[in-house]
């Protein structure tokens, strides 16, 4: 069945919410619900492959990897309105996808004869795929209209979210489904963040979340991340009982047999023993509590009104390690912290790199485990306190960034990874995704899964059990068992 409306997913990555394959974000699903499920789903990869077909090579072409169907010609011919879902605000590196940019859309949309609507996070707070740059300019005549959210409050979302589940049937690869638990932020002051600008604090009811997951489960989905919120532990007023009521009916003890139930985003000051134990008990292994520490430099923390102090972050890492650092059946630990650091914030100086390193070294020396340390350059977006500062500190300090990063990668990440996944560990159900020459790379389904490389060109788009045989700076090497 081909419909007159088409969603073109250019993928989204926000402070709270990921929609880059294999993640399926909330925005295309909610829009599909608004259009009563009568909509075609295409990706930017489909469009690239149609207008500039892929050439076979030794390296997987990640710009044309996530194809929903063999040909999109009939869909484009019948489409009367195309909704372009766009919004990269916390750009990262993606193993098997590359988000679409406004510049790229400009080159394709001229050839599509349909009403063109811009939709998603881009509408309120812009988009930029390159860290350290300001938001992309949007040509005034590129789109015929712009659409913000398709719902007002969460009572309106309840039925849309269930109806939107149907588009997953048009997406042929195994997906991680991003689920929203709330919006806005109870801290709400970090200088670079768009989340407080987009929404006031509001939480979804447990029954609405469960109904949405059930609809997706009935469509065949088994991997979920409760990731679309600024902080999972803030739920309904930082209420531990309410968090348990959310997790229990979908967790490991429930009737739903999920392959993956993970979370994202926790404000470190809200980590306590009870809430940590709930995640260990109800979620599946490989789960990561990602902390936006952003900086350990107290001057940067002050000038950017960041949400945590270095001591609080240390304490949170210790608690999560105490309860979460035990290995589960798929070879990964039940729950580990992940740290986010941001470069280019106000007040950054030569000292910032040194202080960040010192605290990470302290964690390593205490034998604490971090599943990952994410270091990115700030993207100043309109409306944030960083917008006026722009790239001033990036320009000032950029020459030091490689050295700062490299020291952390070599002296922290590498030894920590050896502790985390010792040689001989077997990681189960690794989905192999891309080739690079005679090597193949893949990962388990999860929140920030570890990348495993095999020194052989094995068939992709298949699951394997891999025994770990070596370590790279941020990934591991394995062989098929
Ligand atoms: S704690 Fe800061 S970075 Fe995190 S969502 Fe709130 S304002 Fe944004």
pLDDT bracket for residue 16 (50, 70, 90): confident
Pseudo-torsion of CA 155, 9, 125, 199, nearest 10°? 10
Mean pLDDT for the stretch of residues 224-233 = 96
Cα–Cα distance measured from residue 77 to residue 323, given in angstroms and rounded to the nearest whole number = 55
Cα–Cα distance measured from residue 23 to residue 422, given in angstroms and rounded to the nearest whole number = 28
Q: How far is the CA of 193 from the centre of ligand 1 (A)?
A: 6
Cα–Cα distance measured from residue 445 to residue 429, given in angstroms and rounded to the nearest whole number = 8
For residue 307, which atom of ligand 1 is closest to its CA?
1
Cα–Cα distance measured from residue 122 to residue 194, given in angstroms and rounded to the nearest whole number = 11
Task: Write the secondary structure of the chain as one string of H (helix), E (strand) and C (coil).
Answer: CCCCEEEEEEEEEECCEEECCCEECHHHHHHHHHCCCCCEEEEHHHHHHHHCCCCCCCECCHHHCCCCCCCCHHHHHHCCEEEEEEEECCCCCCCCCCCCCHHHHHHHHCCCCCEEEEECHHHHHCCCCCCCCCCCCCCCCCCCEEECCCCCCHHHHHHHHHHHHHHHHHCCCCCEEEEECEECCCCCCCCCCCHHHHCCCEECCHHHHHHHHHHHHHCCCCEEEEEECCCHHHHHHHCHHHHHHHHHHHCCCCCCCCCEEEECCECHHHCCHHHHHHHHHHCCCCEEEEEEEECCCHHHHHHCCCCCCHHHHHHHHHHHHHHHCCECCCCCECEEEEEEEEECCCCCCHHHHHHHHHHHHHHHHCCCCCCEEEEEECCCCCCCCHHHHCCHHHHHHHHHHHHHHHHHHHHHHHHHHHHHCCCCCEEEEEEEEEEECCEEEEECCCCCCCEEEECCCCCCCEEEEEEEEEECCCCEEEEEC
**Residue 373: beta bridge partners?**
339
Q: How far is the CA of 308 from the centre of ligand 1 (A)?
A: 10
Whether the per-residue pLDDT at 225 is higher than 90: the answer is yes
List residues near ligand 1 (CB under 6 A): 15-16, 185, 187-190, 193, 195-196, 230, 267, 292, 307
Residue 273 has a pLDDT of: 98
Spacing of C-alpha 311 from chain mean position: 26
Q: Name the residue of 292, 294, 386 whose CB sits within 8 Å of the most ligand 1 atoms, as the mutation to test its pocket.
A: 292
Q: How far is the CA of 403 from the centre of ligand 1 (A)?
A: 27
What value does the mean pLDDT of the chain take? 96
pLDDT digits (tens, 9 = 90+) for 328-376: 999 999 999 999 999 999 999 999 999 999 999 999 999 999 999 999 9
Which residue did the predictor score with more confidence, 481 or 381? 481
For residue 294, which atom of ligand 1 is closest to its CA?
3
Mean pLDDT for the stretch of residues 287-313 = 96
pLDDT bracket for residue 3 (50, 70, 90): very high
| Backbone phi, psi, residue 355, to 5° | -65, -40
Residue 188 has a pLDDT of: 85
Mean pLDDT for the stretch of residues 270-282 = 98
Residue 55 has a pLDDT of: 76
Mean pLDDT for the stretch of residues 242-263 = 96
The two structure tokens encoding residue 73: 């010609």
pLDDT bracket for residue 199 (50, 70, 90): confident
Cα–Cα distance measured from residue 419 to residue 367, given in angstroms and rounded to the nearest whole number = 8
pLDDT digits (tens, 9 = 90+) for 440-458: 999 999 999 999 999 999 9
Number of C-beta neighbours around residue 339 at 10 A: 24
| Contact predicate 77/42, CB 8 Å | no
For residue 193, which atom of ligand 1 is closest to its CA?
8
Whether the per-residue pLDDT at 134 is higher than 90: the answer is no
Q: How far is the CA of 29 from the centre of ligand 1 (A)?
A: 24
Residue 37 has a pLDDT of: 95
What region does 58 belong to: left with phi over 0, alpha with psi -120 to 50, or beta? alpha
Q: How far is the CA of 471 from the centre of ligand 1 (A)?
A: 33
Whether the per-residue pLDDT at 154 is higher than 80: the answer is yes
Cα–Cα distance measured from residue 172 to residue 175, given in angstroms and rounded to the nearest whole number = 9
| Contact predicate 101/136, CB 8 Å | yes
Tell me the pTM.
Answer: 0.95
Residue 226 has a pLDDT of: 98
Q: What percent of the chain has pLDDT over 70?
A: 100
Residue 145 has a pLDDT of: 96
The two structure tokens encoding residue 231: 């902080």
Closest residue by CA, ligand 1 atom 7:
188
Residue 381 has a pLDDT of: 87
Mean pLDDT for the stretch of residues 256-278 = 96
Residue 353 has a pLDDT of: 97
Q: For residues 107-119, b (16+ Cβ closer than 10 Å) or e, as one string?
A: ebbeebebebbbb
For residue 185, which atom of ligand 1 is closest to its CA?
6
Mean pLDDT for the stretch of residues 468-480 = 97
Mean pLDDT for the stretch of residues 68-97 = 95
Whether the per-residue pLDDT at 133 is higher than 90: the answer is no
Q: How far is the CA of 51 from the centre of ligand 1 (A)?
A: 39
Residue 40 has a pLDDT of: 98
pLDDT bracket for residue 468 (50, 70, 90): very high
Q: Name the residue of 89, 193, 378 whose CB sits within 8 Å of the most ligand 1 atoms, as the mutation to test its pocket.
A: 193
CA angle 232, 185, 386 (to 5 degrees): 125
Whether the per-residue pLDDT at 56 is higher than 80: the answer is no
Residue 480 has a pLDDT of: 98
Domains with residue ranges and CATH for the chain: 5-147 (no CATH), 174-420 (3.80.30.20), 426-480 (2.40.50)
Whether the per-residue pLDDT at 124 is higher than 90: the answer is no
């Amino acid at each position: 069945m081909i419909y007159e409306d088409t969603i073109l997913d250019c993928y989204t990555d926000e402070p709270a919410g990921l929609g880059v394959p294999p993640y399926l974000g909330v925005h295309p699903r909610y829009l599909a619900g608004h259009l009563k499920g009568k909509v075609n789903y295409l990706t930017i990869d489909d469009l690239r492959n149609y207008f500039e077909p892929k050439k076979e090579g030794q390296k997987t072409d990640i710009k044309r990897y996530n194809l929903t169907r063999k040909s999109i010609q009939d869909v484009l011919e019948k489409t009367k309105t195309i909704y372009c879902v766009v919004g990269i605000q916390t750009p990262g590196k993606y193993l098997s996808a590359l988000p679409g940019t406004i510049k790229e859309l400009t080159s394709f949309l001229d050839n599509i004869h349909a009403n063109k609507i811009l939709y998603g996070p881009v509408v309120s707070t812009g988009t930029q795929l390159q860290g350290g740059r300001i938001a992309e300019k949007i040509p005034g005549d590129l789109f015929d209209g712009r659409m913000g959210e398709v719902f007002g409050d969460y009572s309106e979302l309840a039925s849309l979210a269930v109806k939107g589940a149907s588009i997953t049937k048009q997406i042929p690869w195994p997906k991680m489904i991003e689920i929203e638990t709330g919006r806005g932020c109870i801290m709400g002051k970090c200088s670079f963040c768009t989340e407080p600008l987009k929404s006031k604090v509001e939480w979804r009811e447990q029954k609405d979340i469960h109904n949405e997951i059930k609809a997706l489960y009935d469509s065949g989905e088994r991997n979920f991340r409760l990731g679309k919120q600024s902080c999972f532990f803030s739920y309904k007023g930082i209420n531990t009982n309410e968090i348990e009521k959310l997790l229990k009916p979908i967790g490991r003890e429930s009737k739903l047999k999920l392959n993956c139930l993970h979370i994202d985003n926790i404000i470190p000051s809200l980590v306590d023993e009870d809430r940590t134990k709930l995640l260990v008990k109800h979620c599946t292994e490989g789960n990561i509590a990602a902390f936006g520490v952003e900086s350990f430099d107290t001057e940067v923390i002050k000038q950017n009104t960041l949400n945590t102090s270095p001591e609080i972050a240390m304490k949170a890492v210790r608690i999560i390690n105490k309860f979460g650092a035990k290995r589960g059946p798929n070879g990964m630990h039940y729950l580990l912290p992940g740290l986010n650091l941001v470069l280019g914030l106000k007040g950054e100086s030569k000292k910032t790199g040194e202080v960040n390193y010192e605290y990470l070294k302290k964690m390593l020396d205490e034998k604490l485990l971090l599943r990952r340390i994410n270091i990115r350059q700030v993207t100043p977006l309109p409306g944030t306190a960083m917008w006026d500062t722009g790239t001033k500190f990036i320009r000032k300090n950029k020459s030091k960034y490689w050295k700062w990063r490299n020291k952390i990668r070599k002296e922290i990440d590498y030894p920590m990874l050896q502790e985390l996944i010792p040689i001989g560990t077997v990681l189960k159900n690794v989905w192999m995704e891309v080739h690079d020459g005679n090597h193949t790379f893949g990962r388990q389904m999860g929140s920030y899964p570890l990348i495993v490389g095999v020194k052989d060109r094995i068939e992709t788009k298949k699951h394997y059990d891999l025994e770990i045989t070596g370590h790279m700076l941020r990934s591991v090497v394995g062989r098929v068992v």
